[in-house]
Amino acid sequence: MAIIIEDSVFTLQTKNSTYQMKADDKGILLHTYYGKRTDATDYSYLVSMADRGFSGNIYEAREDRTYSLDFLPQEFPVCGSGDYRVNCLHADLGEGVNDCLMFFDSYRTYHGKYALEGLPAMFSTEEEAVDTLEIVLKDNQEAFYLHLLYGVFEEHDIITRAAVIENRTDREIRLHKVLSGCLDMDHDGMDLIHFYGKHAGERQMERVSLFHGITELRSTRGTSSHQHNPFVILADQKASEDMGECFGFSLLYSGGFHMQAEVDQFHQTRLVMGIDDCDFTWSLLPGETFVAPELAMGYSGEGLAKLSHCYHDSFHGHLIRSFWKEKRRPILVNNWEATYFDFNADKLLQIAREAADLELDMLVLDDGWFGKRDNDDAGLGDWFVNEKKLGGTIQELADKVNGMGLMFGLWFEPEMISEDSDLYRQHPDWAMVVPGRNPIRGRAQLVLDMGREEVLSYIKERLFAILDAANIQYIKWDMNRSVAAAYSALLPRERQGEQRHRYVLGLYHVLEALLERYPNLLLEGCSGGGGRFDAGMLYYAPQIWCSDNTDAVERLHIQYGTSFGYPMSSVAAHVSVCPNHQNGRVTPFKTRGVCAMQGAFGYELDLSKLSEEEKAEAKEQVRTFKKHYKLFQFGDYYRLTSPLLNRDFTAWEYVDKTGKEAILSVVYTDLHGNPAANTVKFRGLCPQVIYQMWRDKEPAGEYTGAALMNGGVLLPVPVENYDSCQIYIRQKE
Ligand code: GLA
């Protein structure tokens, strides 16, 4: 077992990391170690105690003025304990008790991984078992319990955690904040790496040094958001791609989140993360529990690439459940940028015919096929096929597409409602609008109350009716605005603070029901591009539309940022037309393919308008993706350059797990007269192996792995703006 327990010391061991806690003599659960794998020594000897001015002492410390939660490293710090740093829990126990103080009560361990009711969670598999530790804390006076759950993914250096609150008192408890976890470190000098952004510019990597005070990130938008991502890294200031310690924190949650990192008065660092607590309240009645979402913590002592591999592999093996996960992802063409709302069956079939010629796998019909939906002002909620526009039933269309040897996929935006829709006319109170007040519109639409049973039933009934009517193998599940007023007509005033979380639970409920009924369905997540790109979504959707920005060069940044915490097979990326619809940039067709092959590959343009030369290039791209899909989907991914630091080119690489073959891709982002020679070094190869090399499919010599990793490869000189190149190597037979 990966869990060792001795004298109230709990040590969790993964292949390369150790995590330790201790219930001390007062019953406080201290955090004593997280880092490089070591033994199960009781590391609480490192905790220093002193009488520190103005740091209060809990009553249980009696006369001991050196014992203060204001500086002790803790597993789950709570509000009101005399710890003035950021914390994880704020509970109003009633009758004036606004604070709680949690003490060790009991523990249990078992083989297998805990699950979380109604929420996504990583799981164990037959091949790779996982162990669970559950520690129970209890308030010193009330029957108020906190279950801290730990899942140890030994092979992947991932430790998951979650918190379950239980009310065993006989009165209502009001929760104002329940975060998922905390990490206390005994030092400062850490960098925070995070991923900020905007619509059409998600997950821009930024690295900042933490300072004395609080750095915080949050989304209050009802989704994980374009603006901040619920994945962050604490990295040693010297850590780089291939060296140094780094710690990852990925929240498996698709709603608003909150992350705070604080460096305190004694130069200690604390990070807490969980559901956004802004406006959050939850009434916990006697006998009820509240489950906070899972936080997956990762450790690497060998830099950021290794940390990314921990997340890529563990999410692939233990989070993504799709029927599609081991299969080659279908290469699809989506009609959105090709037609927007202006299409009919002939147009769609014309695109499909071209797609079949180019040997693509699927046609995806995007927005505009239902209700009265010829622009984005109307129709959301009316999930009835517009047979006039499609010139027949959805089944007829799907059959024709299938007849060309293609699969058929469909876009939905089930969480939304247009004011100009039959659904709104029938059920205005299903929208989250405060009675008597004007709503905040977003893209001229309102958000449905996903906390409401009849709304969920309606969505399921409509989705199932359409999926039952035709052979639909893929759904793009979209969500195109932020939640503003999180109001539910069903909840009393004092419970409105529950609505944001109830919304997310409702969403997860429908997604689960959908996959249960159609287990072979390929679900692609989307929220105005990548506004809900989080590990919670990956539990349902193995791929997520990464951004509405399809420009190859901007995608270099977006996909670079996304790669830190998410497997590349989840990053949906398409070749689109030029000048690009988002920024007007012109890039070579070849380069657009190289960038899109970085993730789940497809096209998003009118294939019938391609020139003969472009068609030939597209055929070549399709062949390349099909031939090397195992590398692209399951290989180890290396960021070889950073688009933030190297202005001339961006390079990345996939190596198969045995090191026998690899693909290195380069996109030039600047041109120079009299250009300097550029080299780039492969990573992850076998030093002794001799590799044969092909540069853009042309033989380019033989080299040892050692030469390619230490000397590198000389890159061809770019011949046009945004030129690109793919270098493939394979072990010589
Ligand atoms: C969002 C998506 C796009 C497209 C449109 C349709 O913006 O990100 O890909 O599906 O909605 O309205």
Unique residue bearing structure tokens 């300097």 = 676
- Ligand 1: nearest atom to the Cα of 366: 10
The reported pLDDT for the residue numbered 94 is 85
Site to probe by mutation for ligand 1, drawn from 339, 340, 366 as the one with most ligand atoms within 8 Å of Cβ, is 366
The active-site residue, picked from 614, 617, 656, 661, is: 614
Inter-CA distances, 693 with 549, 713, 723, 726, Å: 33, 10, 20, 11
Q: Is 534 a catalytic residue?
A: yes
The reported pLDDT for the residue numbered 95 is 73
Tokens of 155: 């092979």
Tokens of 291: 């489950």
Distance 599 CA to ligand 1 centre (A): 18
Site to probe by mutation for ligand 1, drawn from 198, 337, 342, 367 as the one with most ligand atoms within 8 Å of Cβ, is 367
Bridge partners of residue 667, in order along the sequence: 650, 724
The reported pLDDT for the residue numbered 33 is 98
Asked if residue 660 has pLDDT above 90, the reply is yes
- Ligand 1: nearest atom to the Cα of 476: 10
Across 100-256, where does the E strand assignment appear? Answer: 102-111, 131-139, 144-153, 158-167, 173-185, 190-198, 201-209, 213-218, 231-236, 246-251
The reported pLDDT for the residue numbered 204 is 98
Helix (H/G/I), strand (E/B), else coil: 425: helix
Mean pLDDT of 506-535: 98
pLDDT in tens, 3-26: 999 999 999 999 999 999 999 999
The full set of domain ranges for the chain reads: 3-318, 332-634, 639-731
- Residues 663 and 638: their CA atoms lie apart, in Å, by 10
Phi, psi values for residue 55, rounded to 5°: -105, 115
The reported pLDDT for the residue numbered 99 is 80
The reported pLDDT for the residue numbered 380 is 98
Distance 372 CA to ligand 1 centre (A): 17
- Residues 651 and 681: their CA atoms lie apart, in Å, by 10
Inter-CA distances, 628 with 360, 491, 686, Å: 15, 52, 19
- Residues 323 and 583: their CA atoms lie apart, in Å, by 36
- Residues 458 and 450: their CA atoms lie apart, in Å, by 11
Task: Give the DSSP letter of residue 78.
Answer: B
Distance 550 CA to ligand 1 centre (A): 12
Tokens of 600: 């789940």
pLDDT in tens, 681-723: 999 999 999 999 999 999 999 999 999 999 999 999 999 999 9
Across 514-557, where does the E strand assignment appear? Answer: 522-525, 543-545
Q: What angle do CA 395, 398, 404 make, to 5 degrees?
A: 140
From the list 627, 631, 679, 678, the residue with the least C-alpha distance to 653 is 631
- Ligand 1: nearest atom to the Cα of 411: 10
Asked if residue 97 has pLDDT above 90, the reply is no
Unique residue bearing structure tokens 């996960």 = 325
The length of the chain in residues reads: 733
Residue 658's Cβ-count burial label (10 Å; 0-12, 13-18, 19+) is exposed
Considering Cα of 248, then 249, then 254, then 257, what sign does the dihedral take?
Answer: negative
Percentage above 90 pLDDT, the chain: 98
Residue 446's Cβ-count burial label (10 Å; 0-12, 13-18, 19+) is buried
Tokens of 562: 């996304």
Distance 412 CA to ligand 1 centre (A): 10
At 203, the pLDDT band (50, 70, 90 cuts) reads: very high
- Residues 370 and 386: their CA atoms lie apart, in Å, by 5
- Residues 10 and 131: their CA atoms lie apart, in Å, by 13
Unique residue bearing structure tokens 């909620």 = 381
- Upstream peptide bond of 579 is cis (omega within 30 degrees of 0): yes
Average pLDDT value over all residues in the chain = 97
- Ligand 1: nearest atom to the Cα of 548: 8
Q: Is 620 a catalytic residue?
A: no
Domain 639-731: CATH class, spelled out:
mainly beta
Considering Cα of 94, then 95, then 98, then 101, what sign does the dihedral take?
Answer: negative
- Residues 261 and 271: their CA atoms lie apart, in Å, by 4
- Ligand 1: nearest atom to the Cα of 529: 8
pLDDT in tens, 253-277: 999 999 999 999 999 999 999 999 9
The reported pLDDT for the residue numbered 545 is 98
- Residues 572 and 352: their CA atoms lie apart, in Å, by 20
Distance 411 CA to ligand 1 centre (A): 9
Asked if residue 726 has pLDDT above 90, the reply is yes
Percentage above 70 pLDDT, the chain: 100
The active-site residue, picked from 70, 166, 264, 534, is: 534
pLDDT in tens, 403-453: 999 999 999 999 999 999 999 999 999 999 999 999 999 999 999 999 999
Residue nearest to atom 11 of ligand 1 (CA): 528
The pTM (predicted TM-score) of the whole model is 0.98
- Residues 603 and 377: their CA atoms lie apart, in Å, by 26
- The CATH number given to 3-318 is 2.70.98.60
Distance 443 CA to ligand 1 centre (A): 11
Distance 616 CA to ligand 1 centre (A): 28
- Ligand 1: nearest atom to the Cα of 527: 8
The reported pLDDT for the residue numbered 1 is 82
For residue 202, which amino acid is it?
E
Residue nearest to atom 2 of ligand 1 (CA): 528
Distance 475 CA to ligand 1 centre (A): 13
The reported pLDDT for the residue numbered 590 is 98
CATH 3.50.50.60 matches 332-634: no
- Ligand 1: nearest atom to the Cα of 604: 9
The reported pLDDT for the residue numbered 317 is 97
Residue nearest to atom 1 of ligand 1 (CA): 528
Contact 730, 692 (CB under 8 A): yes
Ligand 1 interacting residues, C-beta cut-off 6 A: 336, 366-367, 376, 411, 478, 480, 526, 528-529, 545, 548
From the list 83, 87, 26, the residue with the least C-alpha distance to 55 is 83
Q: Fold identical between 3-318 and 639-731?
A: no
- Residues 285 and 168: their CA atoms lie apart, in Å, by 9
Contact 185, 321 (CB under 8 A): no
Residue 719's Cβ-count burial label (10 Å; 0-12, 13-18, 19+) is exposed
Asked if residue 514 has pLDDT above 90, the reply is yes
pLDDT in tens, 323-344: 999 999 999 999 999 999 999 9
Site to probe by mutation for ligand 1, drawn from 336, 445, 524, 603 as the one with most ligand atoms within 8 Å of Cβ, is 336
Mean pLDDT of 465-475: 98
Contact 530, 185 (CB under 8 A): no
Site to probe by mutation for ligand 1, drawn from 337, 526, 574 as the one with most ligand atoms within 8 Å of Cβ, is 526
The reported pLDDT for the residue numbered 534 is 99
